[in-house]
Amino acid sequence: METSGNADARRPCSVPPPANARESGPVPEAAGAKALKRRRLLLVMAITSNLFGNMGFTALTIAAPSIQGEMHLSAAQVGWLLLSAMLAMAAFSAPVARLSDIVGRRKITVIGLYVAALGSALNALCTDFPTFVAARVVTGIGLVSFFTTATAMVAAAYPKEERGRILGLVIGAVYLSLSLGPLVGGFLVEAFGWSSLFWFGAVTLVPPIVFIHMVEGEDPVEDVKLDRAGSALWILAVALGFTGFTSLGHPLSVPLLASGLVLFALFVWKTLKSSSPVVDLSLFKDSRRFSLSSVAAFIAYVSSFSITMLLSLYFQYSKGLPPAVTGLIMVSQPLVQTVLTPIAGRLSDRFDAGALSSIGLAVILAGILLLALFLDAAAPLPLVVLAMSLCGAGFALFGAPNTNAIMSSVPPWRIGQASGVIAVTRLTGQISSIALTTLVFAQVIGPGEITPERYPSFITAAKVLFWIFAPMCLLGVFASRARGKGEPPTGTARQPGGDALEGGG
């Protein structure tokens, strides 16, 4: 994405670009230095925004018991500490990704970074649960704005043969962030209290803000209007549907869930008729590899995202460990992911990404089964760390190769939409994982705080969740294997000599 928004770049998503228009790949020699600088700034921005933007999620799991004690939260409300931001991210992911194609990804990234920093500062000032959740919603809207666009900008800026390596670096930054989160969170909570986490989150978003302002030029944009009705339907469907799902048993849960499903059906109907859809559903029809890779990603996040929160609570509740020690132990999983992800990204440039992703899901399954079979109050610490490390290694083998498979299965002018779908599948998978956790907590532990006499019920709830996650992960292995080997993206544009532009750029 090294050209400015000119007339040739403004096009509907379903129409191929001119044969001489490419969003990435070899750069004209005269503009080589400037383009190289832009690529590097985008990469540094993507790495730092993911590094600091994701740190709060694992840090918050360390702080959850402190926040629960200060605000006197029930077990279900503890789940909403994470769920509120995730719900906002899932609800706004598709509209924000589409809007970035229309007004420019750089602009949306800048806005998102400022909004996320503001939301984090507001969280630091909260003293009660309702305002805390509201501030997390603001933070989530900001986070999804730059999480979605950063990946798209970097993927479009680099040629296909380098994309696996670059995505490995970006996703590796995510896992490094998850590694540092428990350490930073444990230290800050013990030394300065839980509000310091959010001041830290606001301040650390300054570097990516500086880097994105240094990026010259704007991205190519599409000369279309945002489907506002489709965006509203998506936001309401996700918000109402998941709120109803996580509160099953409450008198309003079924009406909320039903409303969400009806609104989602209306969204699909509206999308199929729209000339500028919020989510380009034809991507699923045009490429088996794209559709099954997306399904595999959704399953992977559903079956693994809650593990960090569950084990953080386990170490502090059942093992009685302080936040700092818990943070140190929790580093094992994301540290393995950080080390192995760049390697997996490079391997996906040379070998079939689908095969690597399938192996990764199988390794995650092995870690989940260990937890399902052996987790209890007396479980040996090395066994739990081994299970966490297996999950980390598996997700490293899955994450970057699967993202590479998705990005490489579409032509370059559809990368923005593909990145939006990645964000949607990831976020809906993560929120489904947290929603399941919140639901099981409510059913097994019951209302009220998680007090010492309820710790056995907490372990029972955790094991129920692991036995739900295990078969889901196995299903993901089959979905990943069923997509087959790499296929040329559909709708590739032909150059005058007859050579097709490679689908990844």
Question: Looking at the structure, do residues 246 and 305 belong to the same domain, yes or no?
Answer: no
pLDDT for 501? 26
Query: Measured between alpha carbons, how far is residue 54 from residues 30, 172, 220, 275, 353 in Å?
Result: 38, 12, 28, 34, 25
The CATH number for 335's domain is: 1.20.1250.20
Regarding whether 233 and 219 lie in a shared domain, the answer is no
**Residue 25: inside a domain, yes or no?**
no
pLDDT score for 219: 63
Number of domains in the chain: 2
Structural domain includes residue 363 = yes
Q: Are 202 and 139 in contact (CB under 8 A)?
A: no
The DSSP code sequence of 193-261 is -THHHHHHHHHTTHHHHHHHHH--S-----SS---HHHHHHHHHHHHHHHHHHHTBTBTTHHHHHHHHH
**Domain region containing 264:** 227-275
Q: Is residue 487 part of a domain?
A: no
Residues 58 and 143 in one domain: yes
Pick from 375, 372, 399, 366: nearest CA to 300: 399
Residue 374's pLDDT is 93
Q: Is 274 helix (H, G, I), strand (E, B) or coil?
A: coil
Let me know whether 391 and 245 are in one domain: no
Give yes or no: residues 128 and 266 share one domain.
Answer: no
Domain identity same for 41 and 65: yes
Q: Which residues make beta-bridge pairs with 494?
A: 500
Claim to verify: residue 264 and residue 283 sit in the same structural domain = no
Using alpha carbons, select from 166, 142, 146 the residue that is nearest to residue 156: 166
What pLDDT does residue 415 have? 65
Q: What's the pLDDT at 193?
A: 85
The pLDDT value given to residue 9: 40
Considering the domain architecture, whether residues 158 and 94 belong to the same structural domain is answered as: yes
pLDDT in tens, the chain (505 residues): 333 333 344 444 444 444 444 444 444 454 567 777 777 888 888 888 887 887 777 778 778 888 888 888 876 777 788 788 888 888 888 888 888 878 888 888 889 999 999 999 999 898 888 899 999 999 999 988 888 777 777 777 777 777 777 777 787 777 777 667 777 888 888 888 888 889 998 998 898 888 888 877 666 666 778 888 888 999 999 889 888 887 776 788 889 989 999 999 999 898 888 877 887 777 777 777 788 888 888 888 888 888 888 888 899 888 888 877 887 888 788 778 778 877 887 777 777 777 788 888 999 999 999 999 999 988 999 999 999 999 989 988 887 787 777 777 767 666 666 766 777 787 788 878 877 887 888 888 877 677 788 888 999 999 999 999 999 989 888 877 776 555 544 443 333 333 322 222 2
pLDDT at 60: 81
Same domain? For 320 and 382 the reply is yes
**Which pLDDT score is estimated for 236?**
93
What was the pLDDT predicted at 326? 82
Confidence at residue 486, expressed as pLDDT on a 0 to 100 scale: 52
Cα(356)–Cα(420) distance, integer angstroms: 23
On whether residue 199 sits in a domain, the answer given is yes
471 domain-assigned: yes
Same domain, 264 and 171: no
In a domain, 209, yes or no: yes
Please report, for residues 140, 153, 208, the alpha-carbon distance to residue 51 in angstroms, rounded to integers and kept in the order given. Answer: 16, 17, 10
Provide the total of helices (H) and of strands (E) in the chain, helices listed first. 18, 0
Count CA atoms closer than 13 A to 227's CA, side-chain side.
24
Both 153 and 201 in one domain: the answer is yes
Same domain? 176 vs 137: yes
pLDDT of amino acid 17: 45
